């Protein structure tokens, strides 16, 4: 569960939003030019099959690496304890060679640890592992029991020129209790060989957290990302808003871990070297997908409204925009009673069909305590008719 929903509950309870820090709102999704597309039909393809060793997880970013479609997830609840005695791990992943989603997606595999439990993709440092071990169990070696470091994956992109993939992630300090966690910063892991795991390179060796590229006070770069030729574009979306504003950064793929090489969109086709100068390019959600669509000949952003099952789309001629007004793609199935709202709807462009006229979208819905399912929806598009003069 992400902090946006906790803040939203505070904002909506008891009156004035001005009393709660961070409860600000941005223009509605109706602002912007026409998207130039209509949704002809959306079809629920059912739940994506999951490993019976996994009770629930969320996130569901995907990308292509090593000839596989790779799927990345955040907090993952295991049916049985792993080799460290844990039933909760902060990330997990699956991969499959099935790239045809019209009849569902099958053939998922997971790497497993020494006792056969699903393994993490992003590895904790020795210091983080020691901290988690000392605070595990009840009683634990150090108070507070249950405190832990977590790594939550974000967007994943391929870098074919360098035979690698890049995985965005955030480092999270989680404390006991509901909603009691804080993102410490954001960064990029480099994945050079599919047989191995991604590495978290040291970017600032003298820092307390040497792997971090962006600080906790900056947007969550990696909420979405894409590659155009040899340039990486990364969207950073603020987690503390009900109407989530997203900014845009870019960098040459060869320099992704060098913050001084990044620039940030400030409007009017201008870019700045200062992240604080970035202006928001659209409002969306903190988990989304942005990709080029060959059928529309435009970029498409797919996400759901915060606190809502309404899955939306926007289009633009360039990563920075101008981004269109929203188009409703479909309404997600409601979570089971007592479960949190949908928060991770996103498209998977590697599964586009008919040149992008059919897009595949997933979202996670809670089905019970610590249990969830990831549902797959195909969305058939049609170019909007243009008026003739």
| Confidence class for position 24, pLDDT limits 50, 70, 90 | very low
Please give the pLDDT value at position 176. 86
pLDDT in tens, 27-69: 556 678 999 999 999 999 999 987 899 999 999 999 999 999 9
- Please give the Cα distance from 199 to 187 (Å, whole number): 11
Q: Which of 268, 210, 100, 208 is nearest to 200 (CA)?
A: 210
How is the chain split among helix, strand and coil, in percent rounded to 5?
10, 45, 45
Indicate the average pLDDT of the chain.
90
- Please give the Cα distance from 387 to 249 (Å, whole number): 35
What's the average model confidence in pLDDT over 223-227? 98
| DSSP per position, 218-239 | S-EEEEEEEEETTEEEEEEE-S
Q: Are 201 and 257 spatial neighbours (Cβ–Cβ below 8 Å)?
A: yes
**Angle (CA) 212 286 371, round 5°:** 100
As beta bridge partners, residue 251 has 232
Go through the domains of the chain in sequence order and give each one's CATH number.
Answer: 24-383 (2.115.10.20)
Q: Which of 163, 158, 160 is nearest to 193 (CA)?
A: 163
Instruction: Give Rg (Cα) of the chain.
Output: 20
Helix (H) or strand (E) holding 5: helix 3-12
| Confidence class for position 22, pLDDT limits 50, 70, 90 | very low
Least reliable range by pLDDT among 172-181, 191-200, 309-318: 172-181
pLDDT over 80 (residue 270): yes
pLDDT over 50 (residue 180): yes
pLDDT in tens, 101-112: 988 899 999 999
- pLDDT > 90 fraction of the chain, expressed in percent and rounded: 82
Residue reference for tokens 């969550």: 220
pLDDT over 70 (residue 76): yes
pLDDT over 50 (residue 292): yes
Please give the pLDDT value at position 389. 39
């Amino acid at each position: 569960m992400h902090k946006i929903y906790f803040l939203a509950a505070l904002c909506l309870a008891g009156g004035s939003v001005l009393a709660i820090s961070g409860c600000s709102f941005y223009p509605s999704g109706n602002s912007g030019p026409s998207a130039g597309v209509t949704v002809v039909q959306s079809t629920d393809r059912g739940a994506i099959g999951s490993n019976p060793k996994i009770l629930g997880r969320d996130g569901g970013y995907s990308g292509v690496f090593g000839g596989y479609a790779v799927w990345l997830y955040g907090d993952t609840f295991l049916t049985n304890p792993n080799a460290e005695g844990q039933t909760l791990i902060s990330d997990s992943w699956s991969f499959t060679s099935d790239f045809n989603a019209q009849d569902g997606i099958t053939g998922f595999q997971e790497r497993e640890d020494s006792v056969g439990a699903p393994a993490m993709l992003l590895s904790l440092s020795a210091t983080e592992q020691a901290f988690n071990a000392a605070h595990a169990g009840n009683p634990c070696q150090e108070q507070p029991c249950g405190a832990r470091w977590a790594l939550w994956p974000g967007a994943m992109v391929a870098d074919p020129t360098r035979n690698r993939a890049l995985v965005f992630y955030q480092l999270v300090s989680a404390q006991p209790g509901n909603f009691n966690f804080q993102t410490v910063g954001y960064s990029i892991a480099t994945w050079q060989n599919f047989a191995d795991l991604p590495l978290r390179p040291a970017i600032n060796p003298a820092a307390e957290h040497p792997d971090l590229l962006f600080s906790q006070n900056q947007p969550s770069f990696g909420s979405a990302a894409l590659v155009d030729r040899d340039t990486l574009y990364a969207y950073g979306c603020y987690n503390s808003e009900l109407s989530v504003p997203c900014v845009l950064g870019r960098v040459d793929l060869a320099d992704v871990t060098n913050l001084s090489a990044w620039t940030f969109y400030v409007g009017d086709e201008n870019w700045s070297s200062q992240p604080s100068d970035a202006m928001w390019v659209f409002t969306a959600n903190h988990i989304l997908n942005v990709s080029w669509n060959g059928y529309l000949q435009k970029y498409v952003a797919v996400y759901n409204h915060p606190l809502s099952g309404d899955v939306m789309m926007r289009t633009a001629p360039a990563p920075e925009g101008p981004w269109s007004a929203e188009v409703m793609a479909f309404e997600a199935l409601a979570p089971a009673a007592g479960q949190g709202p949908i928060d991770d709807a996103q498209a998977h462009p590697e599964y586009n069909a008919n040149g992008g006229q059919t897009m595949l979208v997933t979202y996670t819905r809670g089905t019970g305590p610590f249990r969830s399912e990831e549902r797959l929806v195909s969305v058939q598009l049609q170019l909007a008719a243009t008026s003739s003069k």
